[in-house]
Amino acid sequence: MTQVETAPTVPEVGLKLAKYITAIADKAIAARGKFTVAVSGGSLPKTLGSGLLHMNEESKIDFSKWQFLYADERSVPLDHADSNHLECKTQIYDPLSISCADNVHAIDYSEDVEEVAAKYEKTLASVFGACDAPQPPVFDLVLLGMGPDGHTLSLFPGHALLEERTKLVASLADSPKPPSKRVTLTYPVCEAARNVAFVTSGAAKADVVYNIHKEGNSNNYPSGLVKCANEDGVMWFLDATAAGKL
């Protein structure tokens, strides 16, 4: 089961996304004293940042109990143009004066991508307490993008990592989307999350969006295989072009 929210333009998707994420954050903070969110790269940080900025101008958002982590990360230095952390810092943290020291868990870079994955698993344990595959960390929200081939996180069509059910964080050095070296959360982490939402825009996604939502071919795409613990299913935020064939 999935839920679909569409908006005419990407900025308007951002506004809907901001309302959605702050409502989940308020509920999480009231219940558990913090809000944990995993953010993807690509266009998502800009869409999320613009929506939060607009909302924050109307009524100040208290980010002090938010904990930002990553759905996936390219294995590059944190100041590299391809770093998802740098993109989030540019589009979200700096404009909203969110403290990276207090509220963000960047994934330390090293040459060995397997070492990067191991470090991220340690970070998950520090934020969520000891966790392993049978009891993965329970994120309040995982925010995902989707590529034109239906990939999400750094899980690509036909890749062996689609079958990964033990590791919480996997590494790869053959990503078809550059950079080739990445670390990624795996499906078990999404399946344990209280909420998962895709943020997808652009006509290049319209065919896959249609196939996942209308044709019932969801299992043909990594994005279509994503499940979460929310009984209402995965949420999809689409702009008019990505929803153009629905």
Ligand X SMILES: O=C(O)[C@H](O)[C@@H](O)[C@H](O)[C@H](O)COP(=O)(O)O
Binding site for ligand X (CB under 6 A): 40-44, 71-72, 84, 145-147, 151-153, 177
Taking the complex as a whole, the smallest distance from the CB of residue 241 to ligand X amounts, in Å, to 12
Taking the complex as a whole, the smallest distance from the CB of residue 183 to ligand X amounts, in Å, to 10
Residue in 177, 131, 125 with CA at minimum distance from that of residue 150: 177
How far, CA to CA in Å, does 175 sit from each of 34, 183, 186, 217? Answer: 33, 10, 15, 23
Separation of alpha carbons 4 and 237, rounded Å: 6
Taking the complex as a whole, the smallest distance from the CB of residue 70 to ligand X amounts, in Å, to 8
Q: Which is nearer to ligand X, 61 or 200 (CB)?
A: 200
Separation of alpha carbons 194 and 235, rounded Å: 11
Q: Which is nearer to ligand X, 62 or 79 (CB)?
A: 79
Place of tokens 């000891």: 130
Q: Which is nearer to ligand X, 28 or 44 (CB)?
A: 44
Judge contact between 184 and 154, C-beta under 8 A.
yes
Taking the complex as a whole, the smallest distance from the CB of residue 177 to ligand X amounts, in Å, to 6
At residue 196, the 3 state secondary structure works out as strand
Taking the complex as a whole, the smallest distance from the CB of residue 120 to ligand X amounts, in Å, to 14
| List of residues 6+ apart from 226 with CB closer than 8 A | 144, 152, 187, 190, 196, 198, 234
Q: Which is nearer to ligand X, 61 or 213 (CB)?
A: 213
Judge contact between 147 and 210, C-beta under 8 A.
no
Q: Which is nearer to ligand X, 147 or 188 (CB)?
A: 147
